[in-house]
Amino acid sequence: MKKYFIKLLLTGINAGYKQLRKRVIFKVSAQRAHDSTIILTRYLEKYGFAIRFAAFLHSIAFKEKPTEVGGAKLTHPLILAAGFVKGEGFRSEGDALTAVYHNKNNIIPGWRIIPTLVGPVEFGSFTRFPRMGNPGTVVWRNIESQSTQNRIGLKNPGAMAAAKFLGGKKEKLPKEFGINIAVSPGIPDVNQQEKEMVESIEFFIDEGVIPTWFTLNLSCPNTEDDPLGHQLEAETRQLCGGFINHLESHNLDVPLWVKISPNLQREQYHMLIRIFDEVGVKAIIATNTLAQPTPDDPTIQAGVGGGELFEEAIMAVAHLRLEKISKGYDIDIVGCGGIVNGLTYRDYRTLDVKAVQYWSAMIYRGPLAAAIIESELPKHEYEFDPIYSESLAKH
Ligand SMILES: Cc1cc2nc3c(=O)[nH]c(=O)nc-3n(C[C@H](O)[C@H](O)[C@H](O)COP(=O)(O)O)c2cc1C
């Protein structure tokens, strides 16, 4: 009975959101819709009744589906990907810390209400120092293919201010969340990168903000760096090894996940999974967005997510999955890219992916996207399908 009620409710919410999308959200530019969402989130987060309503919606829309992936225990296998709850940009660490100390503003809108509503969320990316991100229009959408495109450029308050802000709210932090740390853009020296990465982790640990998992983002396509440079053998080994050593030095049993790019060569995926296995990374998030020319200026690139990313991302998962089996690596793969409905989710499940991340689905399916997608998954026992996997990896 309850099952049918939930199905009916999700169908109603889905239909309502479709109307809202058509009549309001898609009537304005993607940029304006994005900015308004942040303002609305920040506004709602001030009110206890909004948080309670989010918790109520969660309790009726989401069926608990306990999932163990990459050394983390989750209540649900669909995780909101990094970039949704990431915080404001600041010009300097001083400005960001002033905002935290004076409690002037909620510098990470969504930190409370979004996990209350959707369950597992990956916060960030946070870099060692604050970033203002790129100027001008930085978000686009392609409604037909259910895609997003962004060149936000790692706008964030910096790891120190983010840690102090979240540290001041420890008792209200969600019971499951990830923290995504991105390598500092514009720093060619890998030793300096490692130092800044370790400092970033240390801020969170110092503040007692201990996530369910950490993610190291090696793959942001929207900064001054070429993300491929961070995914070379020596650099990957040093950064991931350094991250894990640092967690171990604190006796912290928090797993490290690493987020990688789509569109790499097969050999590069093989090399990456080998190194991750060697140093003890627990899960690979495949993938981040794919750099493509922007609709406004073809000389500028921005990361595509959603429908147009699906093929590249799932191909990456297939390469990793086959290599994992052939070499016996003990590492999970978290699919990410173009999961916007039950069928796209099913395709990842067929590659034996236990958990996935989504971002664009929040735009196309609404804030309860994870519950709706889960409810659309064709009922079936999902087992690894090697033929499907081989056929994807042939491309
Ligand atoms: C506006 C926007 C901002 C994003 N910011 C980040 C980020 O800060 N760090 C990160 O690792 N990924 C970021 N991403 C990438 C998403 O986490 C995700 O990997 C990507 O959108 C693919 O998932 P999707 O196809 O479900 O959208 C961002 C994506 C969007 C659309």
Task: Tell me if 393 CB under 6 Å of ligand 1.
Answer: no
Rounded (10°) angle between helices 93-101 and 159-167: 10
Average pLDDT, rounded, for the chain = 93
Amino acid (1-letter code) at residue 71: G
**Which amino acid residue places its CA nearest to atom 12 of ligand 1?**
82
User: Tens of pLDDT along 283-329?
Assistant: 999 999 999 999 989 999 999 999 999 999 999 999 999 999 999 99
Residue 287 lies in domain:
2-393
Please tell me the predicted confidence (pLDDT) of residue 181. 97
Most distant CA atoms of the chain, gap in Å = 60
Amino acid (1-letter code) at residue 113: I
Claim: this prediction has a pTM higher than 0.85: yes
- Give the model's confidence band at 222: pLDDT under 50 very low, under 70 low, under 90 confident, else very high: low
Least confidently predicted of 2-16, 172-186, 222-236: 222-236
Task: Tell me if 140 CB under 6 Å of ligand 1.
Answer: no
- Supply the CATH number for residue 337's domain: 3.20.20.70
Please tell me the predicted confidence (pLDDT) of residue 392. 76
Cα atoms found within 13 Å of the Cα of residue 300, Cβ hemisphere only: 20
Its sign, for the CA torsion 348, 350, 353, 354, is: positive
- Give the model's confidence band at 2: pLDDT under 50 very low, under 70 low, under 90 confident, else very high: confident
Q: How many domains does the chain have?
A: 1
User: Tens of pLDDT along 232-291?
Assistant: 889 999 999 999 999 999 999 999 999 999 999 999 999 999 999 999 999 999 999 999
Q: Where are the beta strands (DSSP E) in 167-282?
A: 177-182, 213-217, 256-260
Please tell me the predicted confidence (pLDDT) of residue 104. 67
| CA 289/CA 164 separation, integer angstroms | 29
Q: Averaged over 164-169, what is the pLDDT?
A: 96
Q: What is the share, in percent, of the chain residues with pLDDT greater than 90?
A: 83
Distance 111 CA to ligand 1 centre (A): 16
**Which amino acid residue places its CA nearest to atom 14 of ligand 1?**
83
Please tell me the predicted confidence (pLDDT) of residue 161. 97
User: Tens of pLDDT along 34-85?
Assistant: 999 999 999 999 999 999 999 999 999 998 899 999 999 999 999 999 999 9
Distance 141 CA to ligand 1 centre (A): 13
Q: Which atom of ligand 1 is nearest to the CA of 139?
A: 1
User: Tens of pLDDT along 126-164?
Assistant: 999 999 999 999 999 999 999 999 999 999 999 999 999
Closest CA to 371 of 384, 362, 360: 362
Please tell me the predicted confidence (pLDDT) of residue 395. 65
